[in-house]
Amino acid sequence: MFKPEAKIIEQDAIEIGTLFTENDLGGFAGKKILVTGSTGLMGLYILAALKQLSDRYGLGIHLYASSRNVSAASQHFLKWMDDAGLDVVTFGEEQIRGPYDYIFHTASSTNPADLATRPLDVIQTNVHYTSDLLKLLTAQTGSFIFFSTREIYGKKVDPEKTFVGETDYGVLDPLDIRSAYPESKRLAENMVASFSMQSGNPYRIFRISHTYGPGIKLNDGRVLSDIIGAMVADAGIHLKSDGSHKISPTYVADVIAGVLTGLIRGENGCYNVSNHREIYSVLEIARTAASNNAAIEVTHQASKHVSPLYLKHDTGILLSEKIQALGWDFKVPLSEGLRRVYEHYKVSA
């Protein structure tokens, strides 16, 4: 099912599958499932996990992957896996294959340059596209799974508080152009919940942060993307800061396992999915990445210029105790996750 270039992705998909029984997965049997943002990190891993589960248990899931470029996306998926049970559909024309029993809506630009220079496009995807997709659910029974972000929590109310739970909302400045991303995600979350109230359709919202893994877009301006991009190129890692800022990086397979756990065992509402037990400074992450090749050097120098592309406030570390209560936990520590990413890109290059 998986190609040799996808050895790590296959390994991850198998590990995700071991967390669930055939009884857990009965609700997916014979279902039509649409995944938006299908060539991105989250979309690729959802497709890989569901395909592996469908083949393993004979579930007969039919997967639909939404993409703006059907030909390029088809080639993208064929690089990693066979296309049995997987169709690529044109972005904006998903209704031709609908309605769907499950829609995993992962599509959203997280590139800092897009957030700062094309905010209306970001709003369009998070709000209008979400509205269009909700109409494609099987009436009353179709489930909507929305991928949200830590940024919806806004600026921490208590600056001394490290962690934020699902109800710890802070302030967002609606006139800050950079707020187009979290504000539109907030509205989309309310839209999903409102649609569920009026139509009866079940939903889940998953708030994630600093996710990485095979398939991550390299060198797009996000800190993990840039560090990993330098790592897989065996190049020097240069930080444009003192590297003291702390985050909780979470391996993509752990996030997808959390999403499936919340979908199968949870209830309507939102769940943080983040490895809150592993908190690292950016400098520590860079040095861990560099450990995969002794020739990689890490340098850092604080810049006097603060880029408008990045958040001006601290949102806090996502606390994931709510979804842990359903039986999910983190499995892949940072050092192992970065090793897998490094191996993946060396095999698939």
> Residue 345: inside a domain, yes or no?
no
State pTM to two decimals: 0.94
Q: Answer for the pair 146, 271: CB distance below 8 angstroms, yes or no.
A: no
Position 276 pLDDT exceeds 60: yes
- 162 assigned to some structural domain: yes
Neighbouring residues of 13: CB distance < 8 A, sequence distance ≥ 6? 2, 45, 48, 49, 51, 52, 253
Write the CB contacts of 22 (distance below 8 Å, at least 6 apart in sequence). Answer: 57
Residue 112 has pLDDT above 80, yes or no: no
Q: Is the pLDDT of residue 348 over 80?
A: no
Residue 349 lies in a domain: no
pLDDT at 307 over 70: no
Nearest to 245 by CA among 279, 288, 220, 209: 279
Separation between Cα atoms, residue 267 and residue 244, nearest integer Å: 38
**Considering the domain boundaries, does residue 52 fall inside one?**
yes
Number of domains the chain is built from: 1
Checking if the pLDDT of 305 tops 60, the result is: no
- Asked if residue 209 has pLDDT above 60, the reply is yes
Q: Which domain holds residue 325?
A: 4-212+249-276+316-331
CA distance 180 to 15: 36
Residue, of 305 and 122, whose pLDDT is higher: 122
Q: pLDDT by residue (tens digit) across 39-90?
A: 899 999 999 999 999 999 999 999 999 998 898 888 888 888 887 889 999 9
- What is the per-residue pLDDT for 218? 86
Lowest mean pLDDT among 132-136, 232-236, 272-276: 232-236
CATH code, domain carrying 23: 3.40.50.720
Please check whether residue 126 lies inside any domain of the structure: yes
Q: Is residue 237 part of a domain?
A: no
Residue 299 included in any domain = no
